[in-house]
Amino acid sequence: CNGVGMATDLVLDDGKRLAKRKLIEENREKRRREELTKTLVNKPEPTEEEWELIRTVTEAHMGTNAQGSHWKQKRKFLPEDIGQAPIVNAPEGSKVDLEAFSEFTKIITPAITRVVDFAK
């Protein structure tokens, strides 16, 4: 660096260079934390229109969710004893694989719950 004309007092040795990099990284991390704190503190309350959308989505989810006491009444295409009929006819004439449907509900129900929780 000195050979190309840089001022000697501006040239950092390895220790100073590492210290400067560490300070820069610490400052970046500090700014990230401050931004995150500012974002969390200044989090706006949902508008009335957003609350209405949240209520609508929540009610729709509760009305179709595969949990709760009313779900068995809505599953007319499932036999009472699943072991007796692994494949059943759906109202539209197509067949439903109960094992696949069971696996699907195990996967999709938590996903729907997370979407609703996110919307809240």
CA atoms within 13 A on the CB side of 76: 4
Asked if residue 61 and residue 9 are part of one domain, the reply reads: no
Q: Is 8 exposed, middle or buried (0-12, 13-18, 19+ CB in 10 A)?
A: exposed
Asked if residue 30 and residue 60 are part of one domain, the reply reads: no
Asked if residue 53 and residue 101 are part of one domain, the reply reads: yes
Q: What is the pLDDT along the chain (120 residues), one digit of tens a residue?
A: 777 877 877 778 888 889 999 999 999 999 999 988 887 777 778 889 999 998 998 888 777 765 555 555 555 444 444 444 455 555 555 566 677 777 788 888 888 888 888 887
Asked if residue 55 and residue 29 are part of one domain, the reply reads: no
- Six token digits for residue 65: 């969710």
Range of the domain at 24: 2-41
How many distinct structural domains can be found in the chain?
A: 2
Asked if residue 98 and residue 69 are part of one domain, the reply reads: yes
Asked if residue 9 and residue 25 are part of one domain, the reply reads: yes
